Amino acid sequence: MSQLVTQQVLPVSRPELADAFLLDMAASAVRRGLTLAPPVAFIRRIPWTAASSELRTYFAQFGHIRKCTVPFDRETGFHKGIGWVQFSSQGELQNALQQENHIIDGVKLQVLAQRPKVLEGDQTSDED
């Protein structure tokens, strides 16, 4: 919570102070990371035929999906085979992680626990 206030009064005039501030932020991020990993699964090897709605449909069997993201490359129109699924609790995430095989469109996905980090990319998420 101290971090909230820090943000508010960021002095931007002195570079060295700004750096010290970043350091502070980083330290608090580290502290936060120690305890609070959001229940996010990092998905790799998503077949090209599937996008976020397919992922969402599939992973709904393990729990309530809060957010599901599969970033598309705006240069090619394809995604790069990776995505993130955020569940509402660690338990649900564990459900998903414990299942050995995850198959969408006949392709086996790689499902990993996301390292403590903010949910990435929101360009094509199907949040509602």
Partner 1 sequence: MAALLRPARWLLAAGASRRLPLYLRLFAGGPGRPSSVSRLTAADVRPAAGVLPSQARLYTIVAEKKDLSEEPPSLKRNSSQFDWALMRLDNSVRRTGRITKKLLQRVFESTCRSGSPGGNQALLLLRSCGSLLPELSLTERTEFAHKIWNKLQKLGTIYDVSHYNALLKVYLQNEHKFSPTDFLTKMEEAHIQPNRVTYQRLIAAYCNTGDMEGASKILGFMKTKDLPITEAVFSALVTGHARAGDMENAENILTVMKDAGIEPGPDTYLALLNAYAEKGNIDHVKQILENVEKSDHCLMDRDLLQIIVSFSKAGYPQYVSEILDKVTYERRYIPDAMNLILLLVTKKLEDTAFQILLALPISNEDNENDFGSFFLQHCVTMDTPAEKLIDYCKKLKEAKMHSSSLHFTLHCALLANKADLAKALMKVLKEEGFPIRFHYFWPLLIAHQKRKDVQGIIDILKIMKEMGVDPNQETYVNYVFPCFDDIKSVRAALQENECLPNSNTLYQAEVRSEALNGNLDSILSLLESNISPFPFNSLRGSLILGFRRSMNVDLWSKITELLYKDGRYCQEPPGPTEAVGYFLYNLIDSMSDSEVQAKEEHLRQYFHQLKKMNIKVSENIFRGIRNLLEGYHVPELIKDVKVLVDTEKIDSRKTPQLTSSDLESTLEKLKVGNQPIGDVLKQLILLLCSEENMEKALEVKAKYESDMVIGGYAALIHLCCRHDNAEDALNLKQEFDRLDPSAVLDTAKYVGLVKVLGKHGRLQDAINILKEMKEKDVLIKDATVLSFFHILNGEALRGETETVKQLHEAIVTLGLAKPTTNISFPLVTVHLEKDDLPAALEASIDLYQKYKILPRIHDVLCKLIERGETDLIQKAMDFVSQEQGEMTMLYDLFFAFLQTGNYKEARKIIETPGIRARPTRLQWFCDRCITSNQVETLEKLVELTEKLFECDRDQMYYSLLKLYKVNSDWQRADAAWNKMQEENIIPREKTLRLLAEILKSNNQEVPFDVPELWFEDDRHSLSSSSASTVEADMEKTVLEACRLRKFRDAFTMFLEAQKQNVVFNSETYSTLIRLLLSKDNFTEAMQVKDFAETHIKGFTLNDAANSLLIITQVRRDYLKVALETLKAALDLEHIPSKIAVTRLIQAFALKGDLESIEAIQKMVNGLSIGLSSMVFINNIALAQMKNNNIDVAIENIEHMLTSENRTIEPQYFGLSYLFRKVIEEQMEPAIEKLSIMSERLANHFALYKPVTDLFLQLVDSGRVDDAKALLQRCGAIAEQTSIFLVFFLRNSQKPKKAPVLKTLLELIPELREKEEVYSSSMKSYVLDKDVASAKVLYDHLTAKNVKLNELFLKRYASLLKHAGQPVPFTEPPESFEFYIKQLKEERESPS
Residues that bind partner 1 (CB under 8 A): 1-2, 4-21, 23-24, 27, 30-32, 34-36, 47-49, 51, 54, 72, 74-79, 89-91, 105-107, 124, 127-128
- Return the residue matching tokens 């002195």: 14
Q: Which is nearer to partner 1, 44 or 91 (CB)?
A: 91
Q: How far is the CB of 118 from partner 1 (least distance, A)?
A: 12
Burial tier of 31 (Cβ tally within 10 Å: 0-12, 13-18, 19+):
exposed
Q: How far is the CB of 30 from partner 1 (least distance, A)?
A: 8
Q: In the 8-state DSSP scheme, what is residue 60?
A: G
Q: Which is nearer to partner 1, 42 or 51 (CB)?
A: 51
Q: Which is nearer to partner 1, 42 or 94 (CB)?
A: 94
Distances in whole angstroms, Cα of residue 24 to Cα of each of 28, 42, 98: 6, 28, 36
3-state secondary structure (DSSP) of residue 113: strand
Q: How far is the CB of 13 from partner 1 (least distance, A)?
A: 4
Residues 6+ apart with CB under 8 A from 34: 116
Write the single-letter amino acid at 48: W
Q: How far is the CB of 111 from partner 1 (least distance, A)?
A: 19
Q: Which is nearer to partner 1, 61 or 128 (CB)?
A: 128
